[in-house]
Structure 1
């Protein structure tokens, strides 16, 4: 195609931007009906998969560290003297870490992926290390653990926002959605791994004889510390690999859109805030995903009143997220194969999420609805909810980028993930005061999913970035 990067860090205009009129509405680019479009040529490099792997592992580790405490909250209460407020705050550091989100968006736009990834991974190493400092004073130890969780939360803006930027920079148009799905969903898979690792390594208090014995308390504390040391080692290894090799971009761009000029940082925000269609889908993403993230982070607290053990809660959380990751990657691959159908896919996923969350909420109100409250129904409803919501994340990301192109990918996705964490933070803030009864929390799930479904129904889709790639390639 004869495309090349300019010497400056910003991508310069090599080809004219796509025409604004007529815009390709629910149909495919250049008037082609939505469906199988012509193959798009471009220069790609085999090392793109290594870059994707390193970034995905970084996201996996960040999700694992963030969700360390929720699945073992009962054990942590005994070993470190955590209160219910402490457990909620440990989860709350995730959305708080999004406070400097706009700085990371600026850094990614100006300095590229390598600088941003190295800064992010160094914060994670420092945070994981703080949690391992062997201090005998429990109050000091708790403060160090909280500080470590905050530093890990500061890595959230990069691992959650940079996936579309990475996929556009390194992958061809017919691989972008798949790469976005892998890079973004591995963070959720890390959260799922915490549901598996924590309960399997750390024994629950209700399974320990003579609970008040110091030897039993010390045993649980030692097992928790083993988890903390293992997570620190994994994060340090990923940081070393990224330091050794993580380029900002390939020698030549893989597509026309990857080489084209993007709006400046300031103009991008003006474009986003004035785009009503973008604000619609931003709310459609932020509200249900923010509510679901906060809900899954304290899933053990929610299931304990209905007599679900810590181990069962961990398995429910694990399979709900794993199912979402598998289906999300499959949906993204389908979106790459049949382009121009992102809205249709989201309508299917959000409809399923609304039904699954309503089923779970009504099941928990067994005294009112008389629905059977069994392990099988809880597993099924939670897993379906996780599948439908988590698998929608990469589809939303691709739709954001297509809708507001030529706004840089990191900025558009950064705004919506920041908004999602605001909703998550508000919800967890109320949870710190109302943590004795959770029916109100459960009802937030179907309400948010239904609202998102209505917003997507009213949304008018367009594919401005794909328009440019298809028109020039054809």
Structure 2
């Protein structure tokens, strides 16, 4: 085919030692590769970059919709009469429904394929964003926005758990980590976009509006109509118009995604890009059970899911956390943007290094989390005034946390898939992200406790980041999937 690239899968930097048992591996290859044709071709296609970019666009858009209201919390509270707890709940819906729907959607991805899964994802995002455009009247809008958050959360099960499946289905071994990073990074860029686009389109309310609105939030919901009428008497028309413009923009972007998926997004390439891509995976239920008893995978599961889940939730309510130190929602938005963008660059860099220097992911992760711990200690000491406060230092420390934690995510995905092989990539990454969502749900749920404050957030973040280090130290890395692919190519030279 015109867009086919037949390439050797052997990296010039790869070490053949450690996978010289050609007999057993060759037996697995010969007996379990039903997707290979009679010519037993291994091919990679140029169209794989289109597939990963469309998938990445879905991840970006779903994340931007999820992170819509946190960066403009003060404006949303002024327009709709919400509280900090209600802002946190909008983010929390994504985590809650992920926990509920991860298992069936992971089954859908592994059994029905990527096209069916992506169509479901795109349709759900369109429904969610269109629903938010119906009205800006506070009472019905609040209901619709919460329902939309639930639908978008279901869509997130595809975009969040799918990066490793896309890379394994379409990319050769020496590009898998990079491909995983691309779709993961675009998801984080969607979060970054929320930190910037929201504050740019939605004006920040003045202090008088905030003060009056706080009084209204204490009104009984039985008097909702009267409260909303008083709220409408306050001049929040600019904030309301900005919010609706943001809703329209995100809806238009979601319609474009659906068109791209409908026009072309195949389930798999005509020929597999690697030997392991042609080998059938463990049955779905058997794979789920296997992961729950896989000691090495469970270490990766906790080392990834706990700190990344807490940090994602922490970033979603960063404006709430920093409000009492006179950080505006615009300033908090820029902090979140730079932290996420820095993490995106780090993720691409570390993943490319992982492709170049295979079997070194554990060392890279340990380095990232030692540095993340140092940055988190710095941030917490500044935030809680244990050391002299500095706006510049607060910016730098938080950005560095984002660089080191977000930079680790694609490596965790790939290392988890290597550890659990031959369990399918969809269920493996789904399990990883399930724990990520579970810890984020617990974190955001604590915000619902009356008068809980925000100091606990900072200690929680620090504790979870530190915990990842001993888990990684005791983890014994292995690269079964890579060994099979590289053995085949090495033995054929």
TM-score by length of 2: 0.86
Report what 2:474 is aligned to: 458
By how many angstroms is 1:233 displaced? 0.4
- For residues 53-76 of structure 1, give each alpha carbon's deviation from its aligned partner in whole angstroms, at most 9, with x where no partner exists: 100000000010000000000000
Q: Do the aligned partners of 1:70 and 1:300 also contact (CA within 8 Å) in 2?
A: yes
Report what 1:129 is aligned to: 130
Gaps of 5+ in 1: 1-26, 34-40
The alpha-carbon distance between structure 1 residues 461 and 223, as it changes in their structure 2 partners (threshold 3 A), is: same
By how many angstroms is 1:372 displaced? 2.4
Root-mean-square deviation (CA, aligned residues, Å) is 1.8
Q: Do the aligned partners of 2:16 and 2:487 also contact (CA within 8 Å) in 1?
A: yes
Gaps of 5+ in 2: 1-13, 21-40, 213-231
Q: Do the aligned partners of 1:210 and 1:216 also contact (CA within 8 Å) in 2?
A: no
Q: Distance in 1 between matches of 2:105 and 2:64?
A: 21
User: Are 2:293 and 1:267 equivalent residues in the alignment?
Assistant: no
Q: Do the aligned partners of 2:136 and 2:240 also contact (CA within 8 Å) in 1?
A: no
Report what 1:472 is aligned to: 488
Count of residues paired in the alignment: 437
The secondary structure found in structure 2 opposite 1:31 is coil
The secondary structure found in structure 1 opposite 2:44 is coil
Report what 1:76 is aligned to: 76
The alpha-carbon distance between structure 1 residues 165 and 206, as it changes in their structure 2 partners (threshold 3 A), is: same
Q: Do the aligned partners of 1:101 and 1:157 also contact (CA within 8 Å) in 2?
A: yes
Report what 1:57 is aligned to: 57
The alpha-carbon distance between structure 1 residues 171 and 362, as it changes in their structure 2 partners (threshold 3 A), is: same
Q: Do the aligned partners of 1:272 and 1:278 also contact (CA within 8 Å) in 2?
A: yes
Report what 1:187 is aligned to: 187
Report what 1:31 is aligned to: 18
Pairs within 5 Å for 1:315-330: 315-330=334-349
Report what 2:371 is aligned to: 352
Report what 2:330 is aligned to: 311
Q: Distance in 2 between matches of 1:452 and 1:29?
A: 31
Q: Distance in 2 between matches of 1:240 and 1:216?
A: 39
* 1:429 paired residue among 433, 445, 451: 445
Q: Do the aligned partners of 1:97 and 1:155 also contact (CA within 8 Å) in 2?
A: no
- For residues 324-373 of structure 1, give each alpha carbon's deviation from its aligned partner in whole angstroms, at most 9, with x where no partner exists: 0011011100100111100000001111111111111111121xx2x221
Report what 2:276 is aligned to: 257
By how many angstroms is 1:42 displaced? 4.0
The alpha-carbon distance between structure 1 residues 29 and 134, as it changes in their structure 2 partners (threshold 3 A), is: farther
Report what 1:86 is aligned to: 86
List structure 1 segments (4+ residues) > 6 angstroms apart after TM superposition.
207-213
Q: Distance in 1 between matches of 2:355 and 2:208?
A: 51
Q: Distance in 1 between matches of 2:462 and 2:452?
A: 21
The alpha-carbon distance between structure 1 residues 345 and 29, as it changes in their structure 2 partners (threshold 3 A), is: farther
Report what 2:412 is aligned to: 396
- For residues 287-327 of structure 1, give each alpha carbon's deviation from its aligned partner in whole angstroms, at most 9, with x where no partner exists: 10111011001000001011111111000000000000011
By how many angstroms is 1:211 displaced? 8.6
Q: Do the aligned partners of 2:74 and 2:210 also contact (CA within 8 Å) in 1?
A: no
Q: Distance in 2 between matches of 1:253 and 1:50?
A: 16
TM-score by length of 1: 0.89
Q: Distance in 2 between matches of 1:63 and 1:254?
A: 29
By how many angstroms is 1:270 displaced? 2.1
Q: Do the aligned partners of 1:29 and 1:466 also contact (CA within 8 Å) in 2?
A: no
Report what 2:252 is aligned to: 233
User: Are 2:240 and 1:216 equivalent residues in the alignment?
Assistant: no
